[in-house]
Amino acid sequence: NIRGNMTSSRNYTDPTPLGSNGKLTPEQVTSWRKHGYTVVDGLLSDEFARQVAKEAAITLEPLTNHNDFGSMGKLEFPSGMHHCDNVTLHLPFMKAAAQLLDVPVRELRLCQSDIWMKTGVLPKPGVD
């Protein structure tokens, strides 16, 4: 886990820890509302994250040259991959989403859920 103050650069934002009460901090909510994102540490346990990454890597490995959004349907919910599917219904995520939207968890409605790899773009050969 990386913990620290939220610092942003053009390419990176440090995650900040989930509040001690299990809720997002006021700063995280403000970041989401002002900038459209917040980076939070602590919504997934390290073990759960490892299990999801392992399942996703097995499924997404053949897509290493894929440079488009999404998993090409391989990990859209429900995917049949136990841990990957459980990310979508993970109660801490649902509570955070409800907090950001200022609604009870029971009023959330799932529109889309997909897991995909974030990869860097390699420079074209001969281009500096």
Q: What is the pTM of this model?
A: 0.70
d(Cα 116, Cα 9) in Å, to the nearest integer?
23
Residues in the chain: 128
d(Cα 109, Cα 116) in Å, to the nearest integer?
21
Give one word for 42, left, alpha or beta, with left for phi > 0 and alpha for psi -120 to 50. Answer: left
Give the β-pairing of 16-17 and 40-41.
Answer: parallel
Digits of tens for pLDDT over the chain (128 positions)?
333 444 555 567 889 999 999 999 999 999 999 999 999 999 989 999 899 888 888 776 655 555 555 666 677 778 888 888 888 889 999 999 999 999 999 999 877 787 766 655 556 666 65
